[in-house]
Chains A and B, each alone.
Chain A
Amino acid sequence: MIEMKNVSKLYEGSDEVALNNMSLHLDPGEFLFLVGPSGAGKSTLIKLLFREQLPTEGSIFFENKDVTKYKKRELLEHRRRIGMVFQDYKLIKQKTIFENVAFALEVLGYSPRSIRKRVPEALEKVGLAHKAKSFPRELSGGEQQRVGVARAIVKDPVLILADEPTGNLDRDNALQLMRLFEKINEEGTTVVIATHAWDLVDRMQKRVVSLTAGELTRDGQGGYSNE
């Protein structure tokens, strides 16, 4: 699904490489943790995969298409196939939970009829069907993040990208969220999660890619530090 070859990223005005000569292969249906300390390049990698950023060097293929050579339409199509989950949830305060999830479909032009069908299904999956009429401020952090997940999966993406999704959550909520990602993954969606929550990574026992100062230092199955 994803093939990165010798990708480097250098931000303008900075002389430190965010990513250095990194190659990565990801098959459909995989569950991948991106780990490493802050500033190691995890967020940069997520941004490159979402094509929010372009690599300075190297190539990134998504479903056999070079993302650096996308035309406008292809870029939109790319982003429509990817569900994003953020550390700060990025829910819209003035919209209800239902409306927040529906928003992801509205902006893509789904019909009201299919929105009415899909949104409750997605909320059901994350266990928040009963909160549809609430506003984000009425929900706990863990619940808000699950709304974020519902919004990401409501359009049936092939890939979920999550950047520090548990960063603002306590242990129990974080673990619950990871189990939710696992469930989504088991239904066939590829999941990539950037995190430095080593205890969670240890518990999940999935493929782990470690980054240190922009370099790939380890790629293997297991826990956070492979011990």
Chain B
Amino acid sequence: MGKEVTAMNRYALRYCMGQSVRSLSRNAWLAIITSGLIAISLIILGGFLLVTTNVNQFIRNVESNVEVSVFLHDDVDSTELQGRIDELDGVVQQTFVSKEEGLQEFGQTMGDPSLLRDLEGENNPLPDLIRVRVEEPEKVAAVAETIQAYPEVELVDYGEELVARLMQITSRLNYLFLILGISIALGAVFLIINIIRLSAVARQEEVVVMKYMGASNGYIRFPFLMEGMVMGWTGTVIAVLTLGLIYYQLASSFGQDSLILLFQPVMDMERLLPIFIGLAIVGTLMSGFGSFVSIRKYLRV
């Protein structure tokens, strides 16, 4: 054969690409639905990852902003207690709030201090309070526990319930997202397998002839693999763009909203990029796997 086939790969590749395109256009609707399904499953999967990342950040914010509120028994000497609290590991700041100040603050949060006029003086139901700030979120629980043990202290509260509930809700949500994403992904893989099967059947005649002409297995299989990959990549691109756009919109509207101070959406590329790259890899793997299974099963060469 000599010189005539030196450019083999270029021509073979061109032929293979042509075949993939022809096959895809023959089953265009099915291909579009499959790409769509891949996109949806990836969007759900990606949504799950983005929500998780943001919730984790939120929890960290909540924890780091948590103050330990130490409610004191009536008529105890707080100065000595404050001295002890100062020595605890991790404590960076503490503020004493007398019951009078507490009532005033409460009134302000309610919007009209005059509402609480009746509760002033002897009638004040609030205890004295020390607000303790801890430098690292991990140390909050330990500090709270130690302070609770002091005799002057009636109650310690640091929002552990809020954190625990948040974690509970998100872990349930995570499961839901994960199961949904995986089911749809499986559906998409099944569709890919079937589309490739259809093309394999449609081109059976050609495949047999190719084999007799001495075409290599790779040469025969490559167009089918490409067909699956094209669907996969189309879906992946749609998913990444859609998800990116939705996320950007949501994140910027959240970011502007000063009411939700604690919730700052994750915007740094260092943490977002791996998610989107991961989605692209998953999409590629899905289509590659689907094509591979189908070729193995339906394309006997």
Contacts and interface: CB of A to CB of B under 8 A. Distances in A.
Given A76-B216, A92-B205, A93-B205, A107 B4 contact: no
A106 interface: yes
Contacts of B205: 90, 92-93
Interface stretch (B6-14, B33-41, B133-141): B6-14
Interface in B7-49: 7-9, 11-12, 15
Interface string A76-95: 11111010101000101100
A110 B11 contact: yes
B11 A79 contact: no
A107 B5 CA distance: 11
B267 to A, nearest CB: 50
B4 A104 contact: no
Interface in B208-224: 208-210, 212-216, 219
Nearest to B8: A109
Contact of B9 (A90, A109, A151): A109
A109 B214 contact: no
Contacts of A106: 11, 15
A109 B12 contact: yes
B212 A109 contact: no
B86 interface: no
A50 B211 CA distance: 11
A107 B214 CA distance: 8
Given A80-B1, A103-B209, A108 B214 contact: yes
A76 B4 CA distance: 17
Given A84-B212, A90-B208, A107 B7 contact: no
Contacts of A103: 209-210, 213
A106 B173 CA distance: 54
A111 B5 contact: yes
Interface in B76-135: none
A80 B12 contact: no
Given A76-B216, A108-B215, A92 B209 contact: yes
B5 A109 contact: yes
Contacts of A90: 205, 208-209, 212
A112 interface: yes
Given A92-B205, A106-B15, A107-B219, A79 B7 contact: no
A79 B219 CA distance: 14
Contacts of A108: 1, 5, 8, 213-215
Which residue of A104, A108, A109 has the most chain B CB atoms within 10 A of its CB atom? A109
B145 interface: no
Interface residues on A, range: 20 to 34
B74 interface: no
Contact of A111 (B11, B213, B215): B11
B8 A107 contact: no
A112 to B, nearest CB: 7
A104 B1 CA distance: 13
Contacts of B208: 90
A64 interface: no
A107 B213 contact: yes
Given A79-B214, A90-B212, A110 B219 contact: no
Interface in A42-65: 50
A79 B209 CA distance: 12
B160 interface: no
B91 to A, nearest CB: 72
B287 to A, nearest CB: 25
A104 B11 contact: no
Given A92-B209, A93-B205, A80 B11 contact: no
B206 A92 contact: yes
Given A106-B15, A110-B4, 18 more contacts: A72-B216, A76-B215, A77-B214, A79-B214, A82-B214, A90-B212, A92-B205, A92-B206, A93-B205, A103-B209, A107-B12, A108-B1, A108-B213, A109-B7, A110-B5, A111-B5, A114-B4, A155-B1
Interface of B: 1, 4-5, 7-9, 11-12, 15, 205-206, 208-210, 212-216, 219
17 contacts: A76-B215, A76-B216, A84-B212, A92-B209, A93-B205, A103-B213, A106-B15, A107-B15, A107-B210, A107-B213, A107-B215, A107-B219, A109-B5, A109-B8, A109-B11, A111-B5, A112-B11
